[in-house]
Amino acid sequence: MPLSRLLVFLGILTSVLFLVHLYVWFKVVRGAGFPPPWGRVATIVLFTLCASIPLLFVLRDSAPRGISSAMAWVVYSWMGFLFYLFAFGLISDALRGMAFLTGNFPQDPVRRSFLTRLLAGGVGAAALATGLGGMLHVARGFRIKNIRIPLAKLPTAADGYVIAQLTDVHVGPTIGRGFIEDVVRETNALNPDLIAITGDLVDGTVDALRDAVAPLAGLKARDGVYFVTGNHEYYSGADAWIAHLETLGIRVLRNERVDIRGLFDLAGVDDAKSAGMAPGHGQDVAKAMVGRDPAKAVVLLAHQPKSVLEAGLNGVDLQLSGHVHGGQIWPFTWLAHLDQPYLHGLYHHGNTTIYVSQGTGYWGPPMRVGTTSEITRVELAAAT
């Protein structure tokens, strides 16, 4: 990123973060009325954490991975707690407003001060409990999600065919080699016929994450391992990652289709937002479908669920996607619908079936609230 754009970005980011932290200071630190010197200590800690967020963006690519990773854990965790402090603060303000409008807001200064401290404590406790619960959920790791999907065009010889889907792993600041080793071990234990990685594998350059992703070379499936780009690959150098994944034995599908032992076609497309993000990139489902036998089932790997809009027009039987993380943390589980037609699970879009995984890893705060990380075991079934 050019220095001028970086400075503008950091300026806007810092201003917004300062205002959010100032709001949290008023609601929680000042509102709680900490006795000396704890109010001052809480203020220093709060605004030190505020400064650490833009500092991470400056140092994350230049600092040694051990330092940047430790810093990322602190900063991203704090961002999760900050979000809930802000959200619950807004809820407390709404409650105060309702009490005022209904005449139930106390007029006595002592009672009013007590209510302010009570609301501040409630905001802090709710944010702490929600954030810690989300971190504990992440610490428990991913689950194996089993789903059986019938396809009308699938031959009986392919009944029971198993695709292991990995998606949105987000290897990067807080997800490293150990996590990938666990993913590879658990995926191979499923004894899949084919492994599909549907984008957002990484958050960082090849040079920074080469060692972290190295265990992916150990993925084993009878019909191979396939990958399609997600939007985060384009933030991290998509062409370099495509070339590197090929060295790990992973076939990257770019608006193309391959035959899987005559049983069905497997297609894959660039990320839906990739046009203009790298030369020669851009989603093109129609190109991937050119010349195919319409009597044969086709399974499409596409990072974003919204790709089903184009897939449905091109006779795709099944689409496997990710991207949304199921929303990852509430209330984004609701807001994600503003951008994507489907959030997580199995849906039918006209004659196209789509399965949207909640993701194998996470992005940003190491928290999941209302969602679960997964490796998906997709079993294809011949329609009877």
pLDDT 10s digits, 145-161: 999 999 999 999 999 99
Buried b (16+ CB within 10 A) or exposed e, 260-291: beebbbbbbbbbbbbeebbeebbbbbeebbee
Residue 1 has pLDDT above 60, yes or no: no
The pLDDT value given to residue 155: 95
Q: What's the token pair of residue 147?
A: 């789903």
Q: What rounded mean pLDDT belongs to the chain?
A: 92
For range 175-199, the mean pLDDT? 97
Instruction: For 131, list phi and psi in degrees, rounded to 5.
Output: -65, -45
Q: What does the longest C-alpha to C-alpha distance in the chain come to? A: 79
Sign of CA dihedral 189, 135, 197, 70: negative
For range 135-140, the mean pLDDT? 94
- Predicted confidence band of residue 3 (pLDDT cuts 50, 70, 90): low
The pLDDT value given to residue 2: 61
Amino acid at 315: G
Is 37 exposed, middle or buried, given 0-12, 13-18 or 19+ CB atoms closer than 10 A? exposed
Residue 200 has pLDDT above 60, yes or no: yes
The pLDDT value given to residue 384: 67
The pLDDT value given to residue 111: 80
SS3 state of residue 147: strand
Q: Which domains does the chain have, with CATH numbers?
A: 3-138 (no CATH), 143-382 (3.60.21.10)
Q: Taking the model in full, what pTM does it have?
A: 0.91
The per-residue DSSP string of 182-197 comes to HHHHHHHHT--SEEEE
SS3 state of residue 145: strand
For range 13-42, the mean pLDDT? 90
* Angstrom distance (rounded) from CA 46 to CA 31: 14
- Predicted confidence band of residue 365 (pLDDT cuts 50, 70, 90): very high
* Angstrom distance (rounded) from CA 374 to CA 356: 11
Name which of 53-57, 58-62, 83-87, 194-198 the model is least confident about: 58-62
For range 360-371, the mean pLDDT? 94
Of residues 364 and 334, more confidence is placed in 364
Residues 6+ apart with CB under 8 A from 142: 183, 186, 360, 361, 372, 373, 374, 375
Task: Say if CB 186 and CB 377 are below 8 A apart.
Answer: no
pLDDT in tens, 90-124: 999 898 888 778 877 777 787 878 888 888 899 99
Strands (E), 142-220: 143-151, 161-166, 194-197
Sign of CA dihedral 9, 69, 330, 147: positive
> What percent of the chain is predicted at pLDDT more than 90?
75
* Angstrom distance (rounded) from CA 104 to CA 98: 8
Residue 269 has pLDDT above 80, yes or no: yes
